[in-house]
Amino acid sequence: MSTPGPETLDPIALQELVDAGKNVRVIDVRTPGEFETVHIPGAYNVPLDLLREHRDEFLAHLDEDIVLVCRSGQRASQAEETLRIAGLCNVHILEGGMTAWDAQGLPVNRGAQRWDLERQVRLVAGSLVLTSVLGSIAVPRLKWLAAGIGGGLTFAALSNTCAMGAVLSKLPYNRGAGCDPQTIVAQLTESKTAPAEGN
């Protein structure tokens, strides 16, 4: 018997809830760099790695219905699992993520344009494979680097995780100045009395 998957909410349904003034908190689990590029107005940026590391600190401030957002849904699914294991059951995932939200032409805040994390992973992995294959002409053992990258990508697909993405998310390019647990908790706390506009 399989367990039911996480509840999803399509972009139009989320926009209708927001427009109706329903008590919904949108948590964007992408990197601060991705969030700065484009995000749903009023969303809070709680990167997946920080959510995992400081889950209990954040749980105290997540009492509304929660909608988790990432680029396409993969990281939001991982965040939902983290919160569900901790006992939070009022969590939904935005179906199709920011890609679907933006494709629907729904409101967004745009900032400095940066590459999303998945594109960065493809660039780094592809560059390493290409370089190691070409380099193996002179140094035959370099072909094993390409094999290792291929194995890592296969494992990432099977396990729905990405070690390379986790490492890249910690680079300064993907981090913002306010990307620390104390700042995020302060934003979540302040939202009890004020809207999150500007996040």
Please say if the pLDDT value at position 170 is more than 90: no
**Helices and strands (DSSP H and E) totals, the chain:** 10, 7
Residue 180: what pLDDT?
Answer: 67
Under 8 Å between Cβ of 44 and 69: no
Q: What is the DSSP letter of 104?
A: T
Most distant CA pair in the chain: distance in Å?
A: 64
For the stretch 108-148, pLDDT in tens is 999 888 788 788 888 898 999 999 999 999 999 998 998 99
CA distance linking residue 126 with residue 130, whole number of Å? 6
Task: Write down the pTM of the prediction.
Answer: 0.73
CA distance linking residue 113 with residue 115, whole number of Å? 7
Residue 195: what pLDDT?
Answer: 47
Select, from the ranges 55-59, 73-77, 152-156, 195-199, the one with the highest average predicted confidence (pLDDT): 73-77
Please spell the DSSP secondary structure of 130-185, one letter per residue: HHHHHHTTTSGGGHHHHHHHHHHHHHHHHHT--HHHHHHTTSGGG--TT-SHHHHH
Span 150-169, average pLDDT: 82
Q: Identify the bridge partners of residue 24 per DSSP, sorted by sequence position.
A: 65
Q: Which two tokens stand for residue 87?
A: 């006992």
Please say if the pLDDT value at position 194 is more than 70: no
Give the homologous superfamily in CATH for domain 8-114+176-190: Rhodanese-like domain (3.40.250.10)
Q: Where are the beta strands (DSSP E) in the chain?
A: 8-9, 24-28, 38-39, 44-45, 65-69, 91-94, 109-110
- For residues 156 and 137, which has the higher predicted lDDT (pLDDT)? 137
Span 16-31, average pLDDT: 91
CA distance linking residue 128 with residue 135, whole number of Å? 10
Under 8 Å between Cβ of 13 and 50: no
Span 155-178, average pLDDT: 76
Within the chain, all domains assigned CATH 3.40.250.10 are found at: 8-114+176-190
Please say if the pLDDT value at position 1 is more than 90: no
Under 8 Å between Cβ of 31 and 169: yes
